[in-house]
Structure 1
Amino acid sequence: MGDKINTDKNRKDKIPYDHYKTVFKNFNPEIMAKNTGCTFNKAAEEITVKLMGQDLIVRYPSGDIYSKNGSKFEAYPPKTLILRYLIHGKGVEPSRKYITYREIEGGNVYYNNFYGRCILRLSRTFGKNVERFKEIFEKLGAEKVEMGDAAYKFQFLNNIYVIFAIWKDDEEFPASSQILFNSNVLFYFTAEDLAVVGDVAIGTMMKLDI
């Protein structure tokens, strides 16, 4: 039964990725790379995208995505997110301002989804293990931020910076967290996309071998 559920989910996740592959090929790869702060290898027809410290190769015009070692990158939600990011990026540099999810257009509409999928998940995953939270971000070379019991600013993708903050579990209050986005994120992602950003970032953190 579990295998069937996973197969159905993969099939469902593959549909939007396949759609954006057909859209991606209609855009100029040099302009997409310039508008996201990525690099384009004209000879190889490849855009190099950095996802939380990992170099990923996006082949043009196919939209197929590979790890730097040449193995195919298999996870569909981040692959779809990367293609949308390349297609929609407006070339706006990061600012000094960070905003909450609710401050993003559509953020109030999708907040419950974002809260459960990202904020609550972050609290439950690291609220009782703040030291691991710190170790992960130290390994990623993230910048420490004065907020909560631990907080870090990190590069999610080229030009896209996010802050994760944790307040640890104690006798009076359960663990809580906050996620902030650099204000330039409005020129790259929608509110729906940003729920995937948080989800993918937490998933990547949990897979890191610390």
Structure 2
Amino acid sequence: MQQVTYSLPDADNLRQAYHAAYGKACEAFRRWNPLDMAASSGSSWDDGSSSFLVHYISENYNVHFPSGEIISERGGDPVPITVKIVILHYLTRAGGQPLAHRWISFKEIPSAGMIYLEPFNKRVVNYLTGVFGRQPQLLTQAGLSLGGIAVDCGDYGIRFNLLPRLPVTYALWAGDEEFPPRATVLFDATAPFYLPTEDLIVAAGYGVSQLAKTVKNGKSSNPSAAT
């Protein structure tokens, strides 16, 4: 019997796919009215510079209209293309719905399905546990440093906005001799009105990476956590 092997896309193919996705996002972006996008997304719009100011997790980004060019206010390295795609998708998809203040898991998102659940668990939930499982208190410290608030969810929980109208809750339960640590990630029920399902995975995973980066760089603090 012939053996069938499967391989992941190589770097060149992945790069081409990202650039194609960014190109499509720019095409959609330039078809929208900027004032409508600003109002629906909770982002600010400046007529003088023809640009939006969008806060994504830990940075402010200037998004130029109609080109779709995105520059970090902080400067430095070029903005990763995955960040550009998420921001443009957010601006064009945002529906302006008021937050429901009802928290749901990823699998409760109507369009999630099993096809997205495995990558979400791998790229977000397992990543969160891998980074903070042994020192879960660092999750709260890192989240506070990113402007979040401590919440009563799990043994350690933190909530902050991935994007202006896209809050997320990251929570951990500390493990013991009998059970390993476990994590959950919750979204406001309106999340599907602000990002496509694939982008919710990317954004939530990027949030974990920024929490991890905060700890690695020694920027996390230990203020009193308010629930």
How high is the TM-score relative to the length of structure 1? 0.91
In structure 1, runs of 5+ residues without a counterpart are none
User: Would you say 1:47 and 2:52 are equivalent positions?
Assistant: yes
Q: CA deviation at 1:71?
A: 4.8
Q: Which amino acid counterpart does residue 26 of structure 1 have in structure 2?
A: R
Q: 2: distance between equivalents of 1:197 and 1:43?
A: 29
Deviations for 1:153-210, whole angstroms, at most 9, x for unmatched residues? 1111011100000112321111210000011112112322211121111122222332
Supply the distance in 1 between the matched residues of 2:13 and 2:93 (Cα, whole angstroms): 28
- Is the Cα contact below 8 Å between 2:162 and 2:204 reproduced in 1? no
**1:35 is paired with a residue of what secondary structure?**
helix
- State yes or no: 1:162 paired with 2:168: yes
State the AA in 2 paired with 1:121.
Answer: Y
Deviation of 1:141 after TM superposition, in Å, equals 2.4
8 Å CA contact retained: 1:98, 1:181: yes
Q: Is the 2:140–2:150 Cα contact (8 Å) retained in structure 1?
A: no
Where does structure 1 differ by over 6 angstroms across 4 or more consecutive aligned residues?
none
Measure the CA separation in 2 of the matches of 1:144 and 1:135: 9
1:72 CA displacement: 6.2
Structure 2 matches for 1:1-210, cutoff 5 A? 9-71=14-76, 73-109=78-114, 110-208=116-214, 209=217, 210=219
Distance 1:153 1:169 in 2: 21
Shift of 1:8: 5.1
Shift of 1:73: 4.0
RMSD, aligned CA:
1.7
* Cα distance between partner residues in 2 of 1:81 and 1:42: 23
- CA change 1:133–1:98 in 2 (3 A) is same
Q: 1:25 to 1:6 in 2, by over 3 A?
A: same
**Secondary structure in 1 aligned to 2:152?**
coil
Structure of higher CA gyration radius: 2
Shift of 1:69: 3.5
Cα distance in structure 2, aligned partners of 1:99 and 1:203 = 22
* Alignment partners' CA distance in 1, 2:135 and 2:18: 31
Looking at structure 2, the residues matched to 126 and 14 of structure 1 have their Cα atoms a distance apart, in angstroms, of: 33
Letter in 2 for 1:147: C
CA 1:140/1:184 → structure 2, altered by over 3 Å: closer, same or farther?
Answer: same
The residue identity in structure 1 corresponding to 2:96 is G
Which residue identity is paired with 1:165?
A
Alpha-carbon distance between aligned partners in 2 of 1:94 and 1:143, rounded to the nearest angstrom: 17
More helix by share: 1
CA spacing shift, 1:205–1:63, aligned 2, 3 Å: same
Relative distance call for 1:136 and 1:48 in structure 2 (3 A) is: same
